[in-house]
Amino acid sequence: MANRLIKYFFIGLLLFPFAFLLLLSLGRGWAYPDVLPQHWTVENWRFIWGIQAGLGRSALLSLSISLGIAGPVTLASFVVSKFIAYDRHRRRWLVLAYLPYVFAPVILAACLQGFFLRAELSGKVWGVMVAQLFITFPYGVIFFSGFWNEHMLAMEQLVATLGGTVRQAYARVLIPIARGALMTCFFQVFLISWFEYGLTTLIGVGKVQTLTLKVFQYVTEANIFYAALASCLLVMPPVVLLWLNKKYVFSRVG
């Protein structure tokens, strides 16, 4: 009984941030020392599609950037990681893939800002997408490096031995086997792009207003209800994906 209570308490703790943000997004007027907001309304949520706020537009922009990054990065990193995994210097290549993460994406963006300014990509959606490629693509390569093993090599050998072309090997054997891993990588790359703030701020110079920028904007404006609303929109897709099937979202490639 005590164990069960502890478990439910722990689950409550894990879910508390979501409940708190949702409550705050439905509130208005939260004067000190009230524990809960004085008024409850769905008006904040109607605000999403308000012309002035552009929260809906930000959500669509974030969605477009993340989907635009996740698809090509997943496919490209799937193919490139194969050559890296089978290369004799595999370990060295993978160390290089870790560098953007060790280095901190926002500092990487600071170093690259000059190039983006010269290329006139600064402050543009395309620029932000290119910059996000530099952190998502190495992630995809690291992700798939565990997928390419001796078993996959043997499968490919078998296809070649039986007269299959490289294209057939991908279409008929490798991609069907890797479907789960491809889905997982797609969602994870989507989330990296969806959650990205520092690099987007710097390369987008505040003009590319993704949802993460909106959260920060509302927080600095001390508009906690809209900040909570934007936060809810930000955490909703990953939570829905998780609820549908956790193995496709966060599980690692076996």
Partner 1 sequence: MVVKSRSQAAHQRLCISERALGHNVTFHPATCDVLTFDVSTCDVQTFRAMKPHYAKYLALGLFLALAVLPLLAGLGYVLAYSLGLVGFRSAGLTLVHWEAVLGSTFFWRTLAFSAYVAVMTIGLAVGAALWMVVTRPQAFLQGSLSLFIYFPLSIPAIVMAFFVFQMLSGGGLLSRIGYQLGLMEGLEQFPGLVNDTWGIGIITAHFLMAAPFFVILFANLYDNEKLAALVQLARTLGANPRQAAWRVAAPVLLQRAFAAIVLYGLFVMGAYEAPLLLGSQSQQMVSVLTIQKLQRFNLADIPQAYVISVAYAVLVLTLAVWLLGRGKRGDAR
Q: How far is the CB of 81 from partner 1 (least distance, A)?
A: 9
Q: Which is nearer to partner 1, 51 or 202 (CB)?
A: 202
Alpha carbons 138 and 144: distance in angstroms, whole number: 10
Q: How far is the CB of 174 from partner 1 (least distance, A)?
A: 14
Q: Which is nearer to partner 1, 60 or 96 (CB)?
A: 96
Signed CA dihedral, 13, 18, 21, 25: sign only = negative
| Only segment of 41-49, 51-59, 174-182, 209-217 that touches partner 1 (CB under 8 A) | 209-217
Interacting residue with partner 1 among 32, 46, 51, 52 (CB under 8 A): 32
Pairing of strands 39-40, 27-28: antiparallel
- The residue length of the chain stands at 254
Alpha carbons 79 and 81: distance in angstroms, whole number: 6
Q: Which is nearer to partner 1, 4 or 51 (CB)?
A: 4
Q: Which is nearer to partner 1, 51 or 163 (CB)?
A: 163
Applying CB under 8 A, the site for partner 1 has a residue count of 80
Q: Show the site string, 158-197: x = touches partner 1 by CB under 8 A, - = not.
A: --xxxxxxx------------------------x--xx-x
The interface with partner 1 within residues 214-233 (CB under 8 A) comprises 215-216, 219, 224, 227-228, 231
The interface with partner 1 within residues 54-93 (CB under 8 A) comprises 76, 79-80, 82-84, 86-87, 93
Alpha carbons 19 and 209: distance in angstroms, whole number: 26
Q: How far is the CB of 110 from partner 1 (least distance, A)?
A: 6
Q: How far is the CB of 25 from partner 1 (least distance, A)?
A: 12
Q: Which is nearer to partner 1, 97 or 181 (CB)?
A: 97
Q: How far is the CB of 85 from partner 1 (least distance, A)?
A: 11
HSE, CB side, 13 Å, CA atoms: give it for residue 41: 11
Q: Which is nearer to partner 1, 44 or 212 (CB)?
A: 212
The interface with partner 1 within residues 103-162 (CB under 8 A) comprises 103-104, 106-108, 110-115, 133-134, 137-138, 141, 150, 153, 156-157, 160-162
Q: How far is the CB of 51 from partner 1 (least distance, A)?
A: 25
Task: Give the residue from 52, 18, 22 showing the smallest Cα distance to 40.
Answer: 22
> Do residues 253 and 147 make contact, with C-beta atoms less than 8 angstroms apart?
yes
